[in-house]
């Protein structure tokens, strides 16, 4: 392989400059060497030289001009690999010129050429501030010039190759580290999803059993409360029909007061039973799917209907801002999707301040050419109190709630998670304390 190396010669003697050119560009082969090589079927001297090096020789008489050549070569990305420089040149001497050149390009190899009466190697080293100098006395032998050229250009090339390979290796290591970090992050996310999935499966079985066992005592309590209510009414009728003149007025009033308390207890118990029934319904929603129809539906219709359901719960000053895009109808279980949206909106309404804002945005996200690559993105954002970072990962866990005791069952977002996964979608929650919460649902428009 032929490599061309650029060599700069700085010498104020035109005859010596021509000598360098002749030595470094000489392609004449020695006839005896060629003939000897031919006898042994070996490569000729010319062939050996062409297999290894070719020199582009640049001649200059002044050091300052040589410095300009170095600067230009770097700008043009055609660096000089080797310089032969005479110590006695116009202006700055060879050592001073070399020092300035090395400040521009420290990789250049420099050979100082001096007469016997000029500088010593130690003096040159003191001037340039480097010890990796090469020194040649005049008059020089052409073979010395060739040897210096061949050895130093090769060394210059290998050093650049080594540096380039080192950079490639460092870049590869960085890319590998980034890939490793990315893989670790993906593994952690997948592990979290698997754990979440296992939780859902296990809790589905558990909650199904709990819901079934609660149904019977709840039904019994409801029936008993109904009978108590009927009995309370009969007792009051009986007391009111009795002859007041024959009864002690104070005792009668106490009796009626006790019956009134009984009515209050019955009403309060009935209200609590309704809460239990709601919890049972939610538990059933976790454990199994209902028999709703899977069909094409307008997602905006589902959102608007859900907003109507919670209309009475929305604070008077609370604003609902809707930003709907032009979307196709999607295949879904409308009732289930409405339940998921309801759970999100109820949380937003409860978290937002009285004069807060809840924004609802819908978008079409096309990620490919297939019909299944057409996704619908729903974004629900409130400016409420936000959620602590340590709680975000637990939000989809059944029974986990950030609300005060007695104000939430902790099943709403768990149910929402299952409904979104049923639709082959994803749900994410981003929140910071004091900055509100954003819930994003992404589902395919076509399964």
Element (H, E) at 176: helix 142-241
Q: How far is CA 76 from CA 59, 62, 82, 185, 396, in A?
A: 18, 21, 17, 44, 61
pLDDT at 311: 73
Question: Per the domain annotation, does 187 fall within a domain?
Answer: no
Say which CATH number the domain at 104 has.
3.40.50.2300
Give the closest residue to 323 by CA, choosing from 245, 379, 399.
379
Give the closest residue to 221 by CA, choosing from 291, 263, 270, 256.
270
Domain boundary among 257, 287, 317: 287
111 burial type by CB count under 10 A (0-12 exposed, 13-18 middle, 19+ buried): buried
* Close Cβ partners of 131 (under 8 Å, ≥ 6 residues apart): 125
Same domain, 283 and 312: no
Q: Are 308 and 347 in contact (CB under 8 A)?
A: no
Domain boundary among 121, 140, 159: 140
pLDDT at 42: 46
Same domain, 357 and 393: yes
- The residue-averaged pLDDT of 299-316 equals 80
Tokens, residue 10: 């700085």
Element (H, E) at 32: helix 31-39
State if pTM tops 0.75: no
Cα 295 from Cα 214, distance rounded (Å): 33
Same domain, 351 and 438: yes
Ranked by mean pLDDT, the top range of 120-124, 296-300, 316-320, 388-392 is 296-300
Question: Per the domain annotation, does 225 fall within a domain?
Answer: yes
Which segments of 242-377 does DSSP mark as H helices, in order?
A: 249-287, 299-309, 334-351
Tokens, residue 409: 């069952």
Q: Are 329 and 420 in contact (CB under 8 A)?
A: no
230 burial type by CB count under 10 A (0-12 exposed, 13-18 middle, 19+ buried): exposed
| Weakest-pLDDT range from 133-137, 240-244, 329-333 | 240-244
- Phi/psi of residue 444, each to 5°? -70, 145
Question: Per the domain annotation, does 155 fall within a domain?
Answer: no
- The residue-averaged pLDDT of 36-65 equals 66
Same domain, 226 and 254: yes
- Quick: pLDDT tens for 83-137: 999 988 988 889 899 999 999 999 999 999 988 667 777 888 888 888 888 888 8
Q: Are 149 and 28 in contact (CB under 8 A)?
A: no
pLDDT at 357: 92
Question: Per the domain annotation, does 177 fall within a domain?
Answer: no
Same domain, 329 and 277: no
Three-point CA angle 156, 161, 163, nearest 5°: 95
Q: What is the widest separation between alpha-carbon atoms in the chain?
A: 156
- Quick: pLDDT tens for 352-391: 888 899 999 999 988 777 766 789 999 999 998 888 888 8
Same domain, 227 and 339: no
The residue behind tokens 């999100």 is: 344
Cα 270 from Cα 420, distance rounded (Å): 33
Residue 300's pLDDT band (cuts 50, 70, 90): very high
Same domain, 94 and 230: no
Position 220 pLDDT exceeds 70: yes
Domain boundary among 254, 287, 320: 287
pLDDT at 16: 92
pLDDT at 321: 94
Same domain, 281 and 306: no
Question: Per the domain annotation, does 168 fall within a domain?
Answer: no
Residue 402's pLDDT band (cuts 50, 70, 90): low
Same domain, 396 and 267: no
Say which CATH number the domain at 361 has.
3.30.565.10
Position 335 pLDDT exceeds 60: yes
pLDDT at 28: 46
Ranked by mean pLDDT, the top range of 66-70, 88-92, 222-226 is 66-70
Number of domains in the chain: 3
Cα 69 from Cα 75, distance rounded (Å): 10
Same domain, 83 and 18: yes
Residue 407's pLDDT band (cuts 50, 70, 90): low
Strand order in the sheet with 436-444: 319-323, 357-366, 374-382, 436-444, 426-432
- The residue-averaged pLDDT of 185-196 equals 61
Same domain, 236 and 302: no
The DSSP string of 52-74 is HEEEEEEEES-HHHHHHHHHHHH
Q: Are 334 and 297 in contact (CB under 8 A)?
A: yes
Question: Per the domain annotation, does 266 fall within a domain?
Answer: yes
The DSSP string of 205-264 is HHHHHHHHHHHHHHHHHHHHHHHHHHHHHHHHHHHHHS-TTTS-HHHHHHHHHHHHHHHH
Same domain, 234 and 335: no
Question: Per the domain annotation, does 160 fall within a domain?
Answer: no
Question: Per the domain annotation, does 222 fall within a domain?
Answer: yes
Domain that holds residue 314: 295-444
């Amino acid at each position: 392989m032929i490599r061309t190396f650029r060599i700069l010669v700085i010498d104020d003697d035109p005859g010596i400059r021509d000598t360098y050119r002749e030595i470094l560009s000489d392609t004449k082969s020695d006839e005896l060497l060629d003939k000897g090589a031919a006898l042994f079927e070996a490569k000729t001297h010319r062939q050996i030289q062409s297999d290894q090096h070719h020199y582009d020789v640049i001649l200059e008489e002044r050091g300052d001009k040589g410095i300009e050549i170095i600067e230009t070569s770097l700008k043009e990305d055609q660096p000089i690999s080797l310089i032969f420089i005479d110590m006695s040149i116009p202006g700055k001497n060879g050592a001073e010129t070399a020092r300035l050149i090395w400040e521009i390009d420290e990789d250049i190899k420099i050979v100082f050429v001096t007469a016997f009466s000029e500088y010593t190697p130690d003096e040159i080293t003191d001037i340039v501030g480097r010890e990796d100098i090469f020194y040649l006395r005049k008059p020089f032998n052409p073979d010395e010039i060739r040897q210096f050229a061949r050895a130093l250009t090769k060394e210059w090339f290998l050093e650049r190759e080594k540096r380039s390979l080192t950079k490639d290796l460092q870049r590869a290591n960085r890319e590998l580290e980034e890939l490793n970090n990315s893989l670790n992050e993906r593994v952690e996310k997948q592990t979290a999803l698997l754990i979440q999935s296992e939780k859902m499966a296990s809790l589905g079985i558990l909650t199904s059993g709990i819901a079934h066992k609660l149904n019977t005592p709840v039904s019994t309590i409801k029936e008993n409360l109904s009978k108590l209510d009927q009995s309370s009414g009969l007792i009051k009728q009986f007391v009111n029909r009795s002859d007041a003149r024959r009864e002690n007025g104070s005792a009668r009033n106490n009796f009626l007061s006790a019956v009134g308390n009984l009515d209050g207890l019955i009403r309060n118990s009935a209200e609590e039973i309704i809460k239990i029934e709601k919890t049972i319904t939610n538990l059933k929603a976790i454990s199994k799917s209902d028999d709703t129809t899977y069909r094409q539906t307008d997602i905006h219709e589902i959102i608007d209907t859900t907003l109507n359901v919670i209309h009475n719960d929305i604070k008077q000053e609370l604003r609902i801002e809707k930003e709907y895009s032009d979307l196709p109808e999607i295949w879904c279980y409308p009732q289930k999707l409405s339940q998921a949206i309801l759970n999100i909106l109820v949380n937003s309404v409860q978290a937002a301040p009285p004069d807060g804002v809840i924004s609802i945005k819908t978008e079409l996200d096309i990620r490919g050419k297939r019909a299944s690559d057409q996704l619908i993105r729903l974004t629900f954002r409130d400016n409420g109190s936000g959620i602590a970072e340590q709680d975000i990962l637990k939000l989809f866990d059944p029974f986990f709630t950030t609300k005060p005791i007695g104000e939430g069952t902790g099943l709403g977002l768990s149910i929402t998670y299952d409904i979104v996964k049923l639709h082959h979608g994803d749900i994410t929650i981003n929140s910071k304390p004091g900055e509100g919460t954003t819930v994003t649902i992404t589902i395919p428009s076509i399964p």
